């Protein structure tokens, strides 16, 4: 099998030229790259759970969890470990191979880490890959998570360096890159992407992908999010992005990062089946499964299963999965379900 050359020296004009290709030519090129590196009919499936919701001190203009905006999102404390493990078991039963946990923090506090580590260890015992997004990480925190067994850490760049100031003022682009560096140095895999449809230009979309593709090592997972416009946020009334421009973003990400999983992420709830099929053709090979993404809607799992059947797509199984481990943990998980759900008194 021929594997596309991995590059880390993409120029902005090269990427903009890819965006400018005729649509069919771009998809053809992306599909060729995809088939060189992946099974074209397998999609990695993840489930995302909000383990701590609302009251985030950051001012990201797209985010309903920001304390700076008045939205319908209520503040919730960090979930109890047993509740998280129940959700992970349910996700596995729905076909997920990776369980992602997200907390609305600027960065985790030292007092939060024991609970976070216990969650990681518990989900790993279920035979699932683990992923977390907790905001910025210090080098020491990244090392702690690695030692606990965390597989992936998600920290998006959001947009290009030039447009970044229009999105957020409470952390810098360098802060985000430093967290990614801390994660890499600790030996974890990186999940990093961005959001399109925030009023950015095509050049900004090219700039975001340039930053990701020119990292010393490509992110193993690249989520491409369509802005979900939430009432109460500054971006609630933005014009919709042309769907074909979204597909172009998927295709260019696939070409620039041939061996990364490109995730069709937030915004799927508003996409019809035809648009999602185009995204898979353009090189997307990962999705979030389940009814919610942190606080915003997502297609129900059975709807995704029906779409997979129509397209002849199968969920990619986690290679580290063990039936013996799975069966051993089911009994523990069922016992835990009989216990009341608790919330820990941490921020």
Catalytic residues: 56, 60, 63, 100, 131, 191, 263
Residues sharing a CB contact under 8 Å with residue 251, sequence separation 6 or more, in sequence order: 18, 26, 27, 29, 30, 282, 283
What is the C-alpha to C-alpha distance for residues 224 and 38, in angstroms, rounded to an integer? Answer: 18
CB 134 within 8 A of CB 116: yes
Query: Does the annotation place 56 within a ligand binding site?
Result: yes
Q: Are strands 221-226 and 194-196 parallel, antiparallel or unpaired?
A: parallel
Cα 80–chain centre separation: 23
What is the C-alpha to C-alpha distance for residues 110 and 106, in angstroms, rounded to an integer? Answer: 13
Which residue, among 255, 285, 279, 262, has the nearest Cα to 21 in the 3D structure? 255
Query: Does the annotation place 100 within a ligand binding site?
Result: yes
Query: Does the annotation place 263 within a ligand binding site?
Result: yes
Phi, psi for residue 163 in degrees, rounded to 5 = -95, -10
Query: Does the annotation place 279 within a ligand binding site?
Result: no
Q: How many residues does the chain have?
A: 347
What is the C-alpha to C-alpha distance for residues 277 and 74, in angstroms, rounded to an integer? Answer: 34
Query: Does the annotation place 131 within a ligand binding site?
Result: yes
CB 134 within 8 A of CB 105: yes
Binding site for [4Fe-4S] cluster: which residues? 56, 60, 63
**Binding site per annotation, positions:** 56, 60, 63, 100, 131, 191, 263
């Amino acid at each position: 099998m021929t594997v596309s050359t991995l590059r880390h020296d993409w120029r902005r004009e090269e990427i903009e030229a890819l965006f400018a290709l005729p649509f069919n030519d771009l998809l053809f090129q992306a599909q060729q790259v995809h088939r060189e590196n992946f099974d074209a009919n397998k999609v990695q499936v993840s489930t995302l759970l909000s383990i701590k919701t609302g009251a985030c001190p950051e001012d990201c203009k797209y985010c309903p969890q920001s304390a700076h905006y008045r939205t319908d999102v209520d503040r919730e404390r960090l979930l109890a470990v047993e509740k998280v493990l129940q959700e992970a078991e349910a996700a596995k039963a729905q076909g997920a191979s990776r369980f992602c946990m997200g907390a609305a923090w600027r960065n985790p506090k030292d007092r939060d880490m024991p609970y976070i580590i216990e969650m990681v260890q518990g989900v790993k015992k279920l035979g699932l890959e683990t992923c977390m997004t907790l905001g910025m990480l210090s080098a020491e925190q990244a090392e702690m998570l690695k030692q606990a067994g965390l597989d992936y850490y998600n920290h998006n760049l959001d947009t290009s360096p030039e447009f970044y100031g229009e999105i957020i003022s409470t952390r810098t682009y360098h802060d985000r890159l430093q967290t990614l560096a801390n994660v890499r140095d600790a030996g974890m895999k990186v999940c990093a992407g961005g959001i399109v449809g925030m009023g950015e230009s095509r050049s900004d979309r090219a700039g975001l992908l340039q930053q990701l593709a020119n990292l010393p090592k490509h992110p193993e997972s690249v989520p491409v999010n369509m802005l979900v416009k939430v009432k109460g946020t500054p971006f609630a009334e933005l014009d919709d992005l042309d769907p074909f421009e979204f597909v172009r973003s998927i295709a260019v990400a696939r070409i620039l990062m041939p061996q990364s999983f490109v995730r069709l992420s937030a915004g799927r709830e508003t996409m019809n089946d035809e648009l999602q099929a185009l995204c898979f053709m353009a090189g997307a090979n990962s999705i979030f499964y389940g009814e919610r993404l942190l606080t915003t809607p997502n297609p129900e799992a059975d709807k995704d299963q029906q779409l997979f059947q129509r397209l002849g797509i199968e969920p990619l199984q986690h290679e580290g999965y063990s039936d013996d481990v799975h069966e051993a943990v089911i009994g523990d998980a069922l016992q835990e379900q009989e216990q009341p759900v608790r919330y820990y008194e941490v921020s």
